[in-house]
Chains A and B, each alone.
Chain A
């Protein structure tokens, strides 16, 4: 087993802490993203369950 110098050990520890910090900052947006994606899926399902006559066209005009 290779013996680490103090400099190599310090560099290794620093790299680990940077990686941990990155994981931490990325983790929160991922939670938000997961929640947002779940919202998209749930909304899609609820919309699909909503009954509407076959003849109803999408609303693309907004005239009086």
Chain B
């Protein structure tokens, strides 16, 4: 039995794949080691919703058969992974992080689960999440059936939501990568708080069939990994058209960042105030350093700002209305009251009262935002900003507590970049860029739809010259 050291648990997909092919260990051995670690340490971070050890070991034996016959099926072959507990896995409990669905079992797989299986990745566990992905808004990190997501860098702090378990599990090397989902910040937040590299893909790239719906027009699934390269490899495996998802863009993704553009031809927009006065003071040195690293890559940096539009109001109206419409049966029959978080219960109930005219007005303003995004990405190829201005909050702290570090009212900078990106369906790459008060912070790159290779190219170069994504918490 080979010794599985921390170096192996924290290895990237490429590194693990090379070791599997070289037969340094078998897929069964690797899968068993990760299952042991996930089951032992997952509860420490409230990250594990359900272990899938039995199925995983069966899949691992098949991979070993293939590897013995030198049948190589791609970079994810034999790599263990986790999935947010809003993805259906046939015959397994899928709780959506919420008590009313604690015993829910589907008889089919989510498309993304099938795609992972087709790539011969080994799904070893379902990972915890904020109940119903937090669609009604929530006040406490404890808004989850599995308890508050605890941050591997400091267990008194939150791992972020709503893909909390995916963030903790990748950060603590309980899985080499995980699938998360984002409607409005749910990949970006746990990645930034936990020091994980993540990619929220273009709306429609990854099928959502078999995933819990929160907002038909804003839900996306994406990878949370150790590096930008890993994100590209996972996206390549899970993207693609799907007639079962009405929002599917009907196109696949081929990871080829090297063919996009020369770095010196890439124009990156930013607002200096994002990295200075808008950022949490302790995080400013890390953000300033990240900006200098990007500048040092040879890209053209250009000062640019988003137009002033009511991004949060529009996103709140869209998510609130669509989410409440989706969960209307739960609200009407009273099971909504079984949720953990009172703010979420109230938010879901109130969402049923939004007027049709308000929702449609929000969607019309959203059209304007899409037009502005198109204009913006005529002037620059990508936008760069802190993923979040601050660090992970304490798990006991109310998330709507005004004592939390918050941006000052002015200047606006590009603080709405994440919200605009979600409303316009734009991809966002999250890159860990250092620490503030011992907690990870990250910067994001956003680009136009279906242009993931461009931000992955910048991300790869950023991670070639930095070690932030290689930092490990004491597990």
Contacts and interface: CB of A to CB of B under 8 A. Distances in A.
A36 B313 contact: no
Contacts of B343: 32, 36
A59 to B, nearest CB: 4
A40 B353 contact: yes
A57 interface: yes
B345 A32 contact: yes
B302 interface: no
B254 to A, nearest CB: 16
Q: Is the interface of A mostly helix, strand, loop or mixed?
A: helix
A36 B350 contact: yes
Given A48-B361, A50-B361, A59-B363, A40 B350 contact: yes
B156 interface: no
Nearest to A64: B449
Given A29-B345, A36-B347, A37-B353, A62 B310 contact: no
A43 B350 CA distance: 12
Q: Is the interface of B mostly helix, strand, loop or mixed?
A: helix
Contacts of A64: 202, 448-450
Interface stretch (B12-20, B28-36, B173-181, B366-374): B366-374
Contacts of B425: 62
B153 interface: no
Chain B interface size band reads 35 or more
B317 A47 contact: yes
Nearest to B448: A64
A63 B365 contact: no
B217 interface: yes
Nearest to B347: A36
B5 interface: no
Contacts of B353: 37, 40
A40 B348 CA distance: 11
B345 A62 contact: no
B449 A60 contact: no
Contacts, number: 94
Interface residues of A, number: 24
Contacts of B370: 59, 62
Nearest to B318: A59
B350 A52 contact: no
B247 interface: yes
Interface in A20-64: 28-29, 32-33, 35-37, 39-40, 43-44, 46-48, 50, 52, 56-60, 62-64
A62 B424 contact: yes
Nearest to A42: B313
B203 interface: yes
Contacts of B204: 62-63
Interface in B276-320: 310, 313-314, 316-317, 320
Given A58-B366, A62-B217, A46 B310 contact: yes
B266 interface: no
A43 B367 contact: no
B354 A32 contact: no
A61 to B, nearest CB: 9
A47 B365 contact: yes
Contacts of B415: none
A32 B342 contact: yes
B351 A40 contact: yes
B354 to A, nearest CB: 6
B342 A59 contact: no
Contacts of B358: 40, 43-44, 47-48
A26 to B, nearest CB: 10
Contacts of A39: 350
B294 to A, nearest CB: 24
A50 to B, nearest CB: 6
A29 to B, nearest CB: 5
B464 interface: no
Contacts of A28: 342
Given A48-B357, A50-B310, A56-B367, A63 B449 contact: yes
Contacts of A33: 345-346, 349-350
Interface in B8-45: none
Given A40-B351, A47-B361, 13 more contacts: A32-B345, A37-B350, A40-B354, A43-B317, A46-B313, A48-B357, A48-B361, A52-B368, A56-B364, A58-B360, A59-B363, A59-B366, A62-B217
30 contacts: A29-B337, A32-B345, A33-B350, A36-B343, A36-B346, A36-B347, A37-B353, A40-B353, A40-B358, A43-B358, A44-B355, A46-B313, A47-B317, A47-B361, A50-B365, A52-B364, A52-B365, A52-B368, A56-B364, A59-B366, A59-B367, A62-B202, A62-B217, A62-B247, A62-B249, A62-B424, A62-B425, A62-B449, A63-B449, A64-B450
The 8 A-B pairs at the shortest CB distance, nearest first, are namely: A58-B363, A36-B350, A32-B346, A62-B425, A64-B449, A44-B358, A59-B367, A59-B366
Interface of A: 28-29, 32-33, 35-37, 39-40, 43-44, 46-48, 50, 52, 56-60, 62-64
